[in-house]
Amino acid sequence: MTFRELVVAYLQYPAIILYLGLAAAGIGTWFYQPAPIGRSLLAIAVAVLLFPIVWYGLHRWVLHSRWMWKVSWLAATWKRIHFDHHQDPNHLEVLFGSPGNVVPTVAIATIPVGYMIGGVGGAAAAFATGMIQTCVNEFFHCIQHLSYQPKNRWLATIKRRHMEHHFHDETGNFGITNFWWDHLGGTHYAGASARPKSATVFNLGYDDAAADVHPKVRDLSGGVIATAEFRARNKAK
């Protein structure tokens, strides 16, 4: 896959079109009811700083939790937003987050703090920033999962770190473009030699024993959870 093909595929995905539209709506709201420039810039800066912190916290303690599948009304959500992605990391249909989960999360993380800083205009600026950051994050996520081989050293490095998260040990390297919080949280590792291979890298701990007690995710998955054949197929890649 060429870089141009990757960009075209990315821009055609409905979730990305929606996120860009919401970012534009936030910018439009700011123009309609602007906050002072200083307060707007502060709201944007806070949103930029919050994004990697919120992402790391959600990725580590929610998406990789072992409690969501135990709650019947959350099991299907957990399956869609992360279990399916780890079951088959390069499956395009579940590569992007579900808008029904992403948009409220960004709104909760940005709008209140933006409003406290600059009222409606500050909230709009912070929300638009969060949606733009989401699009940027998803673009690099595409680079990491699709068959594009980056020549840039930094891109190649973050792709290796993320692939280690998916194919070696899912309990580390939670970042996409920003691994500062992995370093601070003690979850960063560089290379497969840094830690043992995880037995739960594809099923996130939701194995047959867990499914026997809490079967909803397995039922929704057609009775299949990270089979030995799947592991062998991905190990060969």
Kindly report, residue by residue over 118-143, the tens digit of the pLDDT.
Answer: 999 999 999 999 999 999 999 999 99
Tell me which residue of 226, 206, 237 sits closest to 68, measured CA to CA. Answer: 206
Confidence of residue 233 (pLDDT cuts 50, 70, 90): low
Extents of the domains making up the chain? 3-235
Residue the block writes with tokens 């993320």: 162
Question: DSSP labels for 59-87?
Answer: IIIIIT-SSGGGSHHHHHHHIIIIIHHHH
Global pTM value:
0.89
Is 116:42 a contact under the CB 8 Å cutoff?
Answer: no
In this prediction, residue 226 carries a pLDDT of 61
How many residues can be counted in the chain? Answer: 237
Query: What amino acid is encoded at 114 in this protein?
Result: G
Confidence of residue 96 (pLDDT cuts 50, 70, 90): confident
CB proximity list for 127: less than 8 A, separation 6 or greater? 22, 26, 47, 106, 107, 110, 111, 114
Is 105:134 a contact under the CB 8 Å cutoff?
Answer: no
Kindly report, residue by residue over 171-190, the tens digit of the pLDDT.
Answer: 999 999 989 999 999 999 99
Confidence of residue 225 (pLDDT cuts 50, 70, 90): confident
Kindly report, residue by residue over 185-213, the tens digit of the pLDDT.
Answer: 999 999 999 999 999 999 999 998 999 99
